[in-house]
A and B are shown apart, each in its own frame.
Chain A
Amino acid sequence: MSNKKRVLLVEDDEIIAFLHKHFLEKCGYETIETVDNGVEAIEDVRTMLPDAVLMDIRINGEMDGIETAQRIREFSDAPIIFLTGNSDDGTLERAKLTARSGYLIKPIRQEDLCEAIAQINIQND
């Protein structure tokens, strides 16, 4: 079994998901699953116990990324990194209410992603 940290990727755009998966690998993380909606994300966190979740805020389904994260937080402490646009203060404020979370403003650079996950892991550790 690999020692790599396992990340669940929640992203509704396949190409962006592919890119972010690639960045995560470059950062030394394993993407255990990519899902495009909140319901599957909650289920995967429950069953696969990822070390971190990379969560786009705008995803498919009735729940957005923030609501999904709040539901996850009810049973999991896995750190969550939100991906969001930069112009919506209201969304950022909502995201910040989720415990053990951080955020990155899209479009993201691999360097920023690695740094964000590392920072969250450091906090968790």
Chain B
Amino acid sequence: MTSHTHYHKLLQRQLKKVKEKNLTSEDSIEELLRLVNESYESLERDNQHLKIIIRESSSELLEANNKLKKAHQELADNYSKEVNLLRHLIDKSGEAVQVTSEEGVMLYINQTGAERLGQSVEHLLGQYVGEVEKMFVDKKDWDEHVQDLKDNGPMIIEGRHQRKDGSIFPIEANAFYSQQDDKGYVIAFIRDITERKRMMQAMQDQHQFIRQIIDTVPNLIFVKNQKGQFIMVNEAVAKIFGKSVDEIELKYNDEIHPVKEEIEVFNESEKKVIEFMKPFSLEEQFTLANGEIKTYFTTKVPLERADGTIDILGVSTDITEQKITENQIKQSLSEKTTLLGEIHHRVKNNLTVIFGLLEMQIIQSNDENVIQILRESQGRIRSMSMIHEMLYKTTNLESINVSQYIEDLSRNIYKTYHRFENVQLEITAQEPILLPLNKMIPCGLLVNEILTNAYKYAFEGKTNGKICISTQLLESHFLLKISDNGIGLDEKKMSGKSQSLGMKLIQSFNKQLKSEMSITNENGLHYTFKIPIS
């Protein structure tokens, strides 16, 4: 209870007592006055106290109010900063931002958007959106667009904006519909896609250019995946299938080509490309729709795509004409080879006839000298005949394995002079040594002459002997050695006026062969010839 309330109650009680007792004594008045004074003093104290309290409370309130004002100011400042920042971001984001009323009136556009249109923000605000977006020139189109946004939510659309100067540029807008306070708005973030469109056009032009090249070349160009589907084909491929490019792409061979055997060849080669990851070339046949069979030389290579998958790139060249020509050349060559072989056979037969005719003369002659001469001629004919026989029998009509020939010839001559049963024939032949025909004839005659002379003269008065023949390839030369261990040759017959016919012939053949000849007449005759092969 406050003091003034306490004194107020004491005063009321004293006044009641005075009234009840009708007191008039000075004491009572004194008492009453005292009480009044005390009450007054108490009231004064309470008043002072209240003043202090009020003063203190007012100060607190003032302080709180100041704080509140400050906080409010900070909030306002922050809000302003954020708004400015957002506006700055929106203005400088590079994207045009546009807010349009549901009715199509532009309510907001940022600086970027306005600049792109070549207009001021102020000029644009309040204008109908169709003034800048050609898509919405007709209000119905705008209404449809708004309805679309309402029904389907945000969407990306492409349009064409018109600048102040009338020029048009392509845009892409992320647009959505929003409703605030019962009012509808279309908010759009709009990008100038001129550069993107230009790049796309450039890429498209590039693609078309490459496509034009691919379709212009007469070669077949195709890409298949590992399943065997055509991923890409050029016009040349489409043409041989008798279909359009679109009809072939994503098709398998067996869906568009009826010849199974040919497909098997295609598939087999493609398997190899994938298996070995290496290019593979082959000749392929392809039957056209009209039954014509084409031959292609095809190279297939593994084609690694950006995503890591491996496809097969194939390039085929039509070699049908070349194959026909090649076959004609082969046939012509075969005919000529056959003809040449036939000529050799005829020559051989003619030599056989001459040999036979000489044989008839030998049969009819009783003169040993004549017989001897005829036999020598027969030997020379046989050495030539054998060459033509070999040429006819072998595929190579221009050169002969000289080692084999000398071995055959030597054994044949040995058989002719079979009365020399005790003369051994030893042949060491290195094979193969090919000698051209123009060298073979003098070489054969040379060997025939030396061996015939050896059998005729080397072993006179001897009971046995040995003839050694060796052939060897010495770089670009053919080394021929013929030796016997007979009685040797009279030095007079080696050269000069008394030189034997046989020796003359040997020297003549040697000269024809352009060979280096050396003769050793010691413990028999030893011939060495170094004959150039070419």
Q: A residues near B, CB below 8 A?
A: 13, 15-16, 19-20, 22-23, 26, 58, 85-88, 91, 105-110
Size of B's binding interface in residues, CB under 8 A:
28
Q: Taking the complex as formed, is B351 at the interface, i.e. its CB lies under 8 A from any CB of chain A?
A: yes
Main secondary structure on chain B at its contact with chain A? helix
Nearest chain A residue, comparing its CB with the CB of B351: A107
Q: Are A22 and B385 neighbours in the complex by a CB distance under 8 Å?
A: no
Residue in contact with A15 in the complex, picked from B353, B359, B412, CB distance below 8 Å: B353
CB distance from B411 to the nearest CB of A (A): 8
Given A13-B353, A105-B412: A85 touches B363 (CB 8 Å cut-off): no
Residue in contact with B352 in the complex, picked from A16, A87, A110, CB distance below 8 Å: A16
A109 to B274, CA, bound (A): 67
Neighbouring A residues of B378 by C-beta, 8 Å:
107, 109
Neighbouring B residues of A107 by C-beta, 8 Å:
351-352, 355-356, 359, 378, 381-382, 385
Fill in one digit per residue for B398-416: 1 if any A CB lies within 8 Å of its CB, else 0: 0000001100100010001
Q: Taking the complex as formed, is B224 at the interface, i.e. its CB lies under 8 A from any CB of chain A?
A: no
A23 to B360, CA, bound (A): 8
CB distance from B435 to the nearest CB of A (A): 14
Given A16-B349, A86-B386, A86-B408: A110 touches B363 (CB 8 Å cut-off): yes
CB distance from A57 to the nearest CB of B (A): 11
Residue in contact with A87 in the complex, picked from B351, B360, B386, CB distance below 8 Å: B386
Given A87-B386, A87-B408, A107-B385: A19 touches B393 (CB 8 Å cut-off): no
Closest 8 CB pairs of A and B: A19-B356, A107-B355, A85-B389, A107-B352, A87-B390, A88-B393, A15-B353, A86-B408
Q: Are B363 and A26 neighbours in the complex by a CB distance under 8 Å?
A: yes
Neighbouring A residues of B348 by C-beta, 8 Å:
85
Nearest chain B residue, comparing its CB with the CB of A85: B389
Residue in contact with A16 in the complex, picked from B356, B363, B393, CB distance below 8 Å: B356
A and B contact pairs by CB, cutoff 8 A, 8 listed = A23-B359, A26-B363, A85-B392, A86-B408, A91-B393, A106-B352, A107-B351, A110-B362
Fill in one digit per residue for B135-177: 1 if any A CB lies within 8 Å of its CB, else 0: 0000000000000000000000000000000000000000000
Q: Taking the complex as formed, is B85 at the interface, i.e. its CB lies under 8 A from any CB of chain A?
A: no
CB distance from A49 to the nearest CB of B (A): 28
Q: Are B360 and A19 neighbours in the complex by a CB distance under 8 Å?
A: yes
Known A-B contacts: A22-B360, A87-B408. Give 12 more (CB < 8 A): A13-B353, A16-B353, A19-B357, A23-B363, A85-B389, A85-B392, A86-B389, A86-B412, A87-B386, A108-B359, A109-B359, A110-B363
Given A19-B360, A107-B351, A107-B352: A87 touches B385 (CB 8 Å cut-off): no
Fill in one digit per residue for B46-74: 1 if any A CB lies within 8 Å of its CB, else 0: 00000000000000000000000000000
Nearest chain B residue, comparing its CB with the CB of A87: B390
CB distance from A109 to the nearest CB of B (A): 6
A108 to B360, CA, bound (A): 11
A60 to B378, CA, bound (A): 27
CB distance from B416 to the nearest CB of A (A): 8
